[in-house]
Chain A
């Protein structure tokens, strides 16, 4: 890497809208509201923003959001593809733009009516013709239509090869729900479950039952990123981007990398993890808390291995030790995650990771938090980032 973007940029403002099953307003309005709220959190004005980045999948154009919010001229804008794989990709775009001077202040956002509008659980239909519709054609006639079914294919093999059982899937889902139960913003606030209730849920695709699958929700999240220098003079404690990277693996497909090598793994995440650790000079023992992209319970297990918190196939034992709980080795998804807070395509996870570094999570663990890992989707080209306090510079 010729230019190291580590420690050049910082998160200075974050916001979520409320999360719901029916927002009652357009995705553009959600995006505009959350961008304005993140700027207010930072103590910045719309006119301070000169860069924007969002998901390729987002329906609200950067210039439309900018016009709605009253943001002025832009010198940088970009989109990141592959659904939830884009989440920390936006941080990546913003950090590069700030580090290279292409922009001084970048706001990243994602707003969706994921429950009242288009629901991902409905699966692919072939009716939306995109460049990868032919790719879905290898699965649609057989009925392998939904994100749950694609991830299940890898999970079944993972469980077959390792010592993983439903016990660890339960522990992941249970812990996320415990965190949501004490987060008033979470859709599952005040609704913990026990093993009996988890086991009683309907089957979706083997091995997933309902509580192994994330929510579908309406809402938006945004994050404001500017230089570390400027962050020192703003309202909130700065959250330094210590390392951020993307990863796509050789011969992969989006969600259906079934054809080469071992599929009981997430190679794109391995690639991202290696880069983030190299870029930041950090290693797993420096990471105090994590926000993993948890579209399905098993994806947390894969990622624990990718990021080196345990050995290959060691995630089952790692989570059964209570490691993900608030008093555990690696308090994880303290907001309730996408399994139980809301599914905002991982960007609510970035908001939570920044809050953990600031010390302001609603479920702030009772220990010193210097570094927090946050990741993007599993099964797609993906990425991750380690955020740190200004003191860690």
Chain B
């Protein structure tokens, strides 16, 4: 987008910060045992404190309470809203984003605070405010803005009973801005599943990855002094020869070190993900994944055997299994 477009967008959107999206809304139904029971059943929560008055009265709560995580349920608009969505300031804000090409929307996270238990007979009123709009961010989904709304829930006495923060990303989907699109030839409209990040291929390493594509792991060998080297590089550090060939590794080796990754979770990879430095029988080391074993059972010194496998739609990689 041009700087002028961005300025025009930001002038409009930031005017919404601090605005209530509409009038306070009183819930359609008061807190009631029937709805609590149905919700608890659907959620598989069998605690008697939600439906058995006699049992509940013997607990510290002294009677039936609504499950705290039901808080937002009391403020919901009912099924007809699916056919005719409410027209409010939040929707107007989203329409401004849409008109500038920020058509993607993704709920990113929410947090809720509950100040007291709700009990049958309580009446909940909610009001939502557009609290913050971030500066423009470059996200994995595309360029966008995070919009944070805050909903305050009050009871029939006007006392606050809870507060919910909800964050959405409005973004220009990557496919349409031409950046980071997985594959421009795919026209199906369904985004391709994410794949692992490939290695760039240049003159000094492309041949190695081409061999992996063909199912082999090669080790570069100096033609002059026969020293093996990995990762590949254009000159032999022992004799300065630039002449080289390669041998195929049998992929037998042992774990020299390893680590299991949990966070961040990058699209295209499965976590927990075990990465290791493998000491190959040929004498060079190779970084690769360890699979086929619980990551907690991997140990330094463990014997492993590798094979080149297709790990996703587009990626061939050496993977090592317990030998």
| Chain A residues at the B interface, C-beta cutoff of 8 Å | 116, 121-123, 125-127, 129, 133-146, 149, 152-157, 160, 202-207, 251, 256, 258-259, 263-264
Contact = CB atoms under 8 A, between A and B. Distances in A.
A154 B191 CA distance: 37
B18 interface: no
Nearest to A22: B135
Given A127-B180, A134-B204, A145 B263 contact: no
B185 to A, nearest CB: 20
B288 A258 contact: no
A329 B273 CA distance: 40
Nearest to B202: A134
B230 A134 contact: no
Interface string B181-206: 00000000000000011111110110
B44 interface: no
B300 interface: yes
21 contacts: A116-B135, A126-B200, A127-B180, A129-B200, A134-B200, A134-B204, A141-B198, A141-B315, A141-B317, A143-B261, A143-B266, A143-B273, A145-B197, A146-B261, A155-B259, A157-B256, A157-B300, A205-B262, A206-B259, A256-B287, A259-B285
A259 B277 CA distance: 8
A205 B263 contact: yes
Interface string B254-266: 0011111111101
A142 B275 contact: yes
Q: For B197, B237, B266, which residue has the most chain A Cβ atoms within 10 angstroms?
A: B197
B275 A156 contact: no
B7 to A, nearest CB: 17
A140 B284 CA distance: 20
B261 A205 contact: yes
Contacts of A142: 196, 275, 287-289, 317
Nearest to A213: B263
Given A259-B230, A259-B284, A133 B269 contact: no
A71 B266 CA distance: 44
**Which 9 residue pairs spanning A and B have beta carbons closest together?**
A137-B199, A157-B257, A152-B259, A140-B197, A203-B262, A143-B269, A144-B275, A206-B260, A258-B277
Contact of A263 (B197, B257, B317): B257
A205 B260 contact: yes
B213 to A, nearest CB: 12
Contacts of A207: 259
A41 B260 CA distance: 46
Contact of B205 (A125, A127, A137, A139): A137
B287 A258 contact: yes
Contacts of B273: 143
Interface of B is mostly: loop
A325 B205 CA distance: 48
Interface in B241-291: 256-264, 266, 269, 273, 275, 277, 284-285, 287-289
A146 B261 CA distance: 10
Contacts of A155: 259
B62 interface: no
Given A126-B198, A133-B200, A137-B200, A121 B264 contact: yes
Given A139-B287, A153-B275, A259-B230, A126 B258 contact: no
B289 A146 contact: no
A202 B231 CA distance: 33
Contact of B259 (A125, A135, A205, A256): A205
A258 B199 contact: no
Contact of B289 (A136, A143, A251): A143
B275 A202 contact: no
Contacts of A139: 275, 287
Contacts of B284: 259
A264 B257 CA distance: 9
B139 to A, nearest CB: 10
Contacts of A251: 237
Given A141-B197, A143-B275, 6 more contacts: A144-B287, A156-B300, A157-B300, A202-B262, A204-B261, A259-B230
A103 B90 CA distance: 58
Interface string B118-135: 000000000000000001
Interface in B277-314: 277, 284-285, 287-289, 300
A120 B99 CA distance: 33
Contacts of B198: 126, 137, 140-141
A198 B320 CA distance: 33
B288 A156 contact: no
Contact of B277 (A125, A135, A153): A153
A202 B197 contact: no
